[in-house]
Amino acid sequence: MTAESRHSSPPVIRFTDVTLGYDTRVILRDLSLEVNKGEVVALIGGSGSGKTTLLRAATGQIRAQKGTVTVFDQDVNRMTPQQLGAARRRMGVLFQQGALFTDLSVFSNVAFPLRELSNDSEAVILEKVLDKLDQVGLKRAAHLSVSEISGGMARRVALARAIVLEPEIILFDEPFAGLDPISLGMTARLIRSLTDKLGCATVLITHDLEESFLIADQVYMVGDGSLVVSGTPDEVRQSDNSLARQFLKGASSGPVVFEYPPSDDFDRWLSRHREGVK
């Protein structure tokens, strides 16, 4: 998508001179940012600098103490609970504690939003879930129970669940946490390609500058209670701001397999499941 077409419609998320905090405590002051359709925006900053707080303001979980937050061109502070609910259904959110249902299979976890919020038949759900699991390299882990997968795999399942409804905004809090270097790189590229494919607006909180700078259109860095630097990854990279420089670190790599391997168990599970949804 070109910059021109990207900005032909209003930003999907816009913060204008926003101050955020809890009760009387201010966490971030006078911050402005925007996220456009088709863009990946990386939010970076030290631990406790207010990144998750920003995401909470975008979902209407907390209200701005000052300034305006608009989502889908509507002022979050003025939305009725119904309007807020409707806006949230257009968002996919993957919070740090985006826990999976441990008593359900990988497949059922990803199918959950479709079963709750769509009228899709089980046959359609099967194909959609397998497609999303395939995109995170876990199609052949669909039959496993959550207790049988690693923490990093669980993150990828949670990612598949966050995108299964093909949302217009995707908010990721630390999507790379707990991933090995190969999975991390693939997840970053996946986030970019999903954003391009779905044409959605993506915001990701991350400490991993190397990977996020490869895929982000815009980077916002918060620290010391306000916005420190913003711009394209190159602009932020070239910033002489000491906080920004402190975050830059090298990427590592290792011979780690991303794709979950084929197995007879998976094949049997899939044919049983396909029979069941006919």
Ligand X SMILES: Nc1ncnc2c1ncn2[C@@H]1O[C@H](COP(=O)(O)OP(=O)(O)OP(=O)(O)O)[C@@H](O)[C@H]1O
CB atoms within 10 A of CB 227: 21
- Least distance CB 219 / ligand X (angstroms): 15
Binding of residue 199 to ligand X (CB under 6 A): no
- Give the span between the Cα atoms of 195 and 3, in whole angstroms: 15
- Per-residue x/- mask for ligand X, residues 59 to 98, rule CB under 6 A? ----------------------------------------
**Comparison of 22 and 101: residue with beta carbon closer to ligand X:** 22
Q: Which stretch binds ligand X (CB under 6 A): 48-56, 123-131, 152-160, 261-269?
A: 48-56
- Give the span between the Cα atoms of 153 and 177, in whole angstroms: 11
**Comparison of 2 and 47: residue with beta carbon closer to ligand X:** 47
Binding of residue 47 to ligand X (CB under 6 A): yes
**Comparison of 62 and 138: residue with beta carbon closer to ligand X:** 62
Q: Figure out which of the listed residues 14, 34, 49, 186 binds ligand X, where binding follows CB under 6 A.
A: 49
- As beta bridge partners, residue 15 has 33, 69
Both tokens assigned to 211 = 């990977």
Binding of residue 206 to ligand X (CB under 6 A): no
Write out the H or E segment, with its range, that includes residue 84: helix 81-89
- Give the span between the Cα atoms of 274 and 272, in whole angstroms: 6
Sheet strand arrangement including 169-173: 91-94, 169-173, 201-205, 40-45, 218-223, 226-231
Binding of residue 51 to ligand X (CB under 6 A): yes
Binding site for ligand X (CB under 6 A): 22, 27, 45, 47-53
